Amino acid sequence: MDLELRHLKIVSAVADAGSVSKAAVSLGLAQPALTAQLKRIERVLGGALFHRDHTGARPTALGELVLTRAKVLLPAARQLQEEATRFVNSSGGERRLRVGATGSPLFGGLVDRLARAHPTATVTTYTSWSAEKIADMVTHGRLDFALVGVCGESRPPSADTLAWRTIAVDAVCALVAQDHPLAGEAEVGLGALRRESWAIAPGEGCFTECFFAACAKAGFTPRTVYEADVATCVHLAQVGRAVALCQATFRLTPGLTPLPIAGAPLRWRQLIGWHPDSPAARTAPAIAMHAKAAHTEAVQRSRTYLNWLSKNPEFGLLLN
């Protein structure tokens, strides 16, 4: 058996975890299978890589040598794979446009505009609730652009690796049934909804914490919060079971109406991101303009939010 990169990954996993059993969990392997693999690797290298006892696994002198080399080889191999992916995706005619998003109401409009602007290109999409996952796919060359949102002034994912441009800053609205007593109001204070139950889609950032902080500032604690997928949140709002929190540009479902919250205590930044060293970086300004146009189209669909923006010009599209 020859030593392979996957063997170095196993050795690194054991060292990072501090035990074979914990490494097996992180690698998704059964412990006996990982133990057998480690023994084969040690036979190839000619000696034990770890001192193993009831306290865990500690690298031997040989193990330290192997780990030192692994810290160089594994990142180099990963970088080579990323560069190769970017090279393949940028060669041979007009390249594909691969865009990922996290439930953004702008996504459909952006994809439509890209398909019309690049009729000979193949536009592919990927969605996930996780902005971190979308950003990681851009970092590793599996996507060209990420369309994500972050709460307030939060840093975007992979902020030190990817380039990000803010498309718009939008208020977060309450979504209520059309027969709700406050439906049709130009805006309401958050405190006016203190007796409501709430529906929130889960996420990785600070949005839920910011919501509770805003409620505390308004003088109440939410009595019930349903954390559910977007479709369930919408349903709960439709039947009057809860008030859902949504981006102001959310495409409305029949029977629902947005309710702007006075002072916009919750806000959402719409961002487009790309890897600055990728071929996609050359087209980033044009992609950002398409995203801005998609935002304008989304705003036009909501007369309530359009009217609210006219009185709150610091929100909405950023002219950068």
User: Across all residues in the chain, what is the average pLDDT?
Assistant: 88
Q: What is the C-alpha separation between 248 and 265, in angstroms, rounded?
A: 13
Q: Where in the chain is the domain with CATH 1.10.10.10?
A: 5-81
What are the structure tokens assigned to 159, written together? 């902020």
303-311 helix and 284-300 helix, angle to the nearest 10 degrees: 110
Mean pLDDT within 263-270: 93
Give ∠ CA 98-169-180 in degrees, rounded to 5: 105
Confidence of residue 93 (pLDDT cuts 50, 70, 90): very low
Q: What is the C-alpha separation between 308 and 187, in angstroms, rounded?
A: 8
The Cβ-side half-sphere exposure at 301, using a 13 Å CA radius, reads 18
Mean pLDDT within 65-81: 85
Q: What is the C-alpha separation between 272 and 292, in angstroms, rounded?
A: 10
Three-state SS at 26: helix
pLDDT tens digits along 109-167: 999 999 998 888 889 999 998 899 999 999 988 999 999 999 988 889 999 899 999 99
Task: Compute the residue count for the chain.
Answer: 320
Non-local (6+) Cβ contacts of 153 within 8 A are 269
Can you give the pLDDT at residue 318? 62
Q: Where in the chain is the domain with CATH 3.40.190.290?
A: 92-193+248-320
What are the structure tokens assigned to 248, written together? 């102001």
Can you give the pLDDT at residue 87? 58
- Whether the per-residue pLDDT at 80 is higher than 80: the answer is no
Confidence of residue 75 (pLDDT cuts 50, 70, 90): confident
**CATH architecture, domain 92-193+248-320:** 3-Layer(aba) Sandwich (3.40)
Task: Evaluate whether 124 touches 308 at the Cβ level (below 8 Å).
Answer: no
Task: Evaluate whether 145 touches 98 at the Cβ level (below 8 Å).
Answer: yes
Task: Evaluate whether 243 touches 196 at the Cβ level (below 8 Å).
Answer: yes
- Whether the per-residue pLDDT at 236 is higher than 80: the answer is yes
Can you give the pLDDT at residue 89? 56
Percentage of residues in the chain having pLDDT higher than 90 = 48
End-to-end CA, the chain: 57
Instruction: Identify the CA nearest to 112 among candidates 123, 102, 96, 121.
Output: 123
| Beta-sheet strands, E only, within the chain | 50-53, 56-59, 97-101, 123-127, 145-151, 163-177, 198-200, 225-227, 243-247, 256-259, 267-274, 316-317
Mean pLDDT within 39-66: 89
Can you give the pLDDT at residue 193? 95
Q: What is the C-alpha separation between 270 and 247, in angstroms, rounded?
A: 10
Look up residue 290 and give its amino acid.
H
Q: What is the C-alpha separation between 89 and 68, in angstroms, rounded?
A: 33
Confidence of residue 218 (pLDDT cuts 50, 70, 90): very high
Q: What is the C-alpha separation between 61 and 304, in angstroms, rounded?
A: 68
Mean pLDDT within 206-211: 90
Look up residue 129 and give its amino acid.
W
5-81 carries CATH number 2.40.10.500: no
Give ∠ CA 205-272-151 in degrees, rounded to 5: 25
Mean pLDDT within 13-26: 88
Confidence of residue 25 (pLDDT cuts 50, 70, 90): confident
